[in-house]
Amino acid sequence: MSVVIVGAGEVGFHVAERLSGEGRQVVVVDKSLDRLDYVQSRLDVGIIEGSGASPAVLDRAGVSDATLFVAVTSDDEVNLVACMAAQGKSDMVRVARVSNPDFYAETGRLGPERFRVDVMINPERELALDTLQLLQSTAATDIAAFADGKLQLISLQVTSDAPVVNRTLADITATIGDVPLLTAAIERNGTTLVPDGSAVFQAGDQAYVVATADAVPKALELCGHVHKELKRVMVAGGSTEAYYLAELLQQHNVHATMLVQDRRRAQELAEKLHKALILNGDATDVELLEAEGVGEMDAFVALTEEDQTNILSALVAKHAGAKQVVTLVNKIEYVSLARRIGLDAAVSPRLSAANAILRQVHRGSVTRVSTFKETDAEAISFSVSAACPFVGQPLRDIRFPRGAIVAAILRGDQVIVPRGSDELMVTDTAIVFVLRDAVAAVTKLFPS
């Protein structure tokens, strides 16, 4: 697969990193030579200096041979014009990062079809969706949902009093019996491993657990957490992300209290969000948070436009007793620092956008890719064809590359969290949890 990416910012870098790591031929286009030098010094990709909206520049980037075109600059208009200018193969997929909702109209002058865009990604809305998933899974610090939410792959920190501490994976599996749970990976001291039955859980581990939706409470219990229904959430900030999240919370019958420092923005949101309580105030004001009952909230989410304010307000809310705290950080590299400073989870609009783009990209037998914030692993969905060499074989007999495990099987409407005796069948979708350095080897096992 040949890929052209317009935009060498954090979104473009993250997408290029993932795709080039799978052995794809990637060319990155940007007007900033400094950004291009940064990308090339860290990734095995080609670079072209110039505007991604220029047909001549795109020709130099080899767009005519590309099967995927991704425009992810911070300028909506540049991304849309770039997609219009990209003349590639007939089956080339065009993806554009677009924040302005006017461009999402299905009909009319500004519909996506006018710009020859196959997939539009709205970073702010993607972040709101990711945040809602985290809130609904209470203690999860990261999550990927499959089969319309029937299957979840969640990241959970193992507490000191968790039932799994100092027990082997084999022992735990025998204890839970037929409960559809599977530990896909354990992250410990910055190292991620795909465990076998002899692996022993330790307090502080980050466990990546696959579970059906109704088994998620059991996964939480085993890792030392209590599942609680989401009823009340406090949101700090009047940003676009905050508005989208409040809108989603309303749709799920969750009461939202919003703290908005700008009076005019507070009034504007109050006119749009009829079921939310909009307060004009500073989210870092301890007395205000306590007066509004932050300690009684199921969650506190900091979504202002300033990273420093988000982190500070989240720490204040945590100290005041908020049960779950999620904060927005714009720099992707800061996301993994959240838990180290005492926060439950962090989200990034740039990372949400990059992951949404990767999820939409179909590559051969690959139907979806989900990445995770704090590990170099992916959950990849593969279509199982008759060409797969291990169709009909028990999973225990398949010699998968080190660092990979079949985490789930989707068979029609059936969701299977597999055991060693389960087999893959033609037309199944296999969800494989795989460390980055094993992606290429695993992909070869699932020919299209």
DSSP H or E segment with residue 214: none
DSSP H or E segment with residue 18: helix 10-21
Architecture of domain 361-444: 2-Layer Sandwich (3.30)
Q: Give the residue from 213, 12, 219 showing the smallest Cα distance to 121.
A: 12
> Which CATH superfamily includes the segment(s) 230-353?
NAD(P)-binding Rossmann-like Domain (3.40.50.720)
Domain boundaries, the chain: 2-121, 134-222, 230-353, 361-444
DSSP H or E segment with residue 432: strand 429-435
Q: Assign residue 227 a region: left if phi > 0, alpha if psi is -120 to 50, beta otherwise?
A: beta
Three-class DSSP labels, 94-150: EEEECCCHHHHCCCCCCCHHHHCCCEEECHHHHHHHHHHHHHHCCCCCEEEEEHHHC
Q: Give the residue from 390, 388, 385, 370 showing the smallest Cα distance to 431.
A: 370
Determine the Cα–Cα distance for residues 398 and 225; give it in Å rounded to an integer.
Answer: 34
Q: Do domains 134-222 and 361-444 have the same CATH topology?
A: yes
Per CATH, is 134-222 categorized as 3.30.70.1450?
yes
Query: Are 43 and 23 in contact, with CB atoms under 8 Å apart?
Result: no
Structure tokens at 119: 């997939």
CATH number for the domain whose boundaries are 2-121 = 3.40.50.720
Name the pTM for this structure.
0.78
Digit-by-digit pLDDT tens for the chain (448 residues) are 789 999 999 999 999 998 887 778 999 999 999 999 999 999 999 999 999 999 999 999 999 999 899 999 999 999 999 999 998 777 888 999 999 888 876 545 555 667 788 889 999 999 999 899 888 877 788 888 888 888 999 999 999 999 999 999 999 999 998 899 999 999 998 888 899 889 999 999 999 999 998 899 999 999 999 878 889 999 999 999 999 999 999 999 999 999 999 999 999 999 999 999 999 999 988 899 999 999 899 999 999 999 999 999 999 999 888 888 999 998 877 787 777 788 888 999 988 888 888 876 655 667 777 777 777 788 888 999 999 999 999 999 988 888 999 999 999 989 999 988 999 999 999 999 998 888 888 888 898 7
